[in-house]
Amino acid sequence: MTLLAHPTPLRFAARDHAAVTGRNLRRMLRSPDALLMGLALPVLLLVLFVYVFGGAIDTGTDYLNYVVPGIVLLSASFGAAQTAVAVASDMHRGIVDRFRSMPIARSAVLTAHVVASLVRNLASTVVVFVVAALMGFRPDAHLVEWVAATGVIALFVLAISAVSAALGMLAGNDEAASGFTFLLLFLPYVSSAFVPPETMPGWLRGFAEHQPVTPVIETVRGLLTGTGIGSSAIVAIGWCAAFTAIGLVAATALFRQRTAR
């Protein structure tokens, strides 16, 4: 028996998605070392950049206010690597074979990983903001700007999680899945996350200013601290929408191909 190829009624599909998402969330809670690392790493990076490097970096503003949006997106990139590993693990350790014997919606297997990643990364985002507030982070955003910033962060997490799901489907094993996400972990470093792009060499500055992560960071930073946003919000939403669509389509196609047998 294979996963249902035809759409189930909406309520049954929603039930299937909720059940598999719950399973993935419980799986995270049963791996406290990975969960702790996912929450602790962004905090350690925040402390490192602010207290070790912050005094030597001139951004024209308080470095803590400058770096917090970058740390948030870096933690999302790290969390996405865990999504790729979780998808690869399911594909190679038999759980998908068990799902194939159950009358559940085909889409639930992949989207549950993406939703679980969204929950995990939003939790780490809250931790970063709480620690940043204890360190003196004082954004001047009002409620609407906080909601908008949260929405942009969620869109970024959704996009990077969808791409990671596709990479997890493509990987031959857990280790390969982790390696495939290296570029996702690398991108925030070569952006406006930690230093202004204009301080970089010319050839690197062009890349930093036009890669996908920079407009997301500039949008979140602008919403929270009042710096200029310009066209960054439109570009950020466009990048996130494109990567979400590409990731979901690729992951679904690979999933169907690998479960067709």
Q: Of 96-110, 146-160, 174-188, where does mean pLDDT reach its minimum? A: 96-110
**Which DSSP helix (H) or strand (E) runs through 193?**
none
| Residue 132 banded pLDDT, cuts 50, 70, 90 | very high
Tokens for 130?
């709480």
Distance CA 236, CA 164 (A): 18
pLDDT, one tens digit per residue, over 65-117 is 899 999 988 888 777 777 887 777 777 766 665 665 555 656 666 777 778 88
pTM greater than 0.85: no
Residue 4 phi, psi (nearest 5): -60, 125
Cβ count within 10 A of residue 207? 14
pLDDT, one tens digit per residue, over 11-58 is 655 666 676 676 666 766 666 666 667 677 888 888 888 988 887 787
Please give the residue that has the higher pLDDT: either 68 or 256: 68
Q: Where do the domains of the chain lie?
A: 31-260
Residue 241 phi, psi (nearest 5): -65, -40
Among residues 126, 134, 120, the alpha carbon closest in space to that of 47 is found at 134
